[in-house]
Chain A
């Protein structure tokens, strides 16, 4: 079955530690996205990538970094510079190149601070 796989489902970070969230898709989608979800705030865009080896900052990129070395993979690193990392993180990919195409989401990673 094609889809988006995020791992791990739950992640704990210690103070001063960087952690990496995995996102893999086998849908052959070019564009991929990372969102942060906080209660009552909807989804906010962290980073997005439209093609391999290219990515752009979203609305809340500070304290985060990404890479896009393969079409299938778009890992997100939450660095120690992100002072409030506790949230639910969602990865998405978009079908096709045309305008108005929907995004499809993974099941998320919940990050908490120890």
Chain B
């Protein structure tokens, strides 16, 4: 079984500051991990994914995430926040298998202050 925990339902940063959104997962099989972003009243957009291989994954809009197996973490970072980054961010895990079902965290709402 898989599960995802996102620490901090609300995170606020200043424009230009580092963004760090935390995600820890639990999986009985090698996980596939994803970060999605959601703007108000819209669907989810894929930011990046980890499947196998390199543990540092680069995504769109300057975001990246590092898979750390020993810490069961997949934290999302961006060196310098922009006002347009204000949105809700979801971490998700899949154990693969026949259905490729995704298990989502409860989300982190990122606010960017001018």
Contact = CB atoms under 8 A, between A and B. Distances in A.
A105 B43 contact: yes
A99 B43 contact: no
Interface residues of A, number: 26
B contacts with A: majority SS:
loop
Interface residues of B, number: 26
Interface stretch (B13-21, B67-75, B77-85, B95-103): B95-103
A contacts with B: majority SS:
strand
Interface-centre pick from A6, A102, A108 (highest chain B CB count, 10 A): A102
Contacts, number: 60
Interface string A38-51: 00111101001010
A45 B102 CA distance: 8
Given A42-B105, A100-B32, A108 B41 contact: yes
B55 interface: no
Interface of A: 4, 6, 31, 40-43, 45, 48, 50, 56, 58, 90, 92, 94, 99-108, 110
Would you list the 9 A-B pairs with minimal beta carbon distance, nearest first?
Answer: A99-B96, A100-B32, A105-B43, A100-B51, A42-B104, A42-B106, A105-B44, A43-B104, A107-B43
Interface of B: 9, 32, 34, 36, 41-46, 49, 51-52, 90, 94, 96-102, 104-107
5 contacts: A43-B44, A56-B99, A90-B43, A94-B100, A107-B43
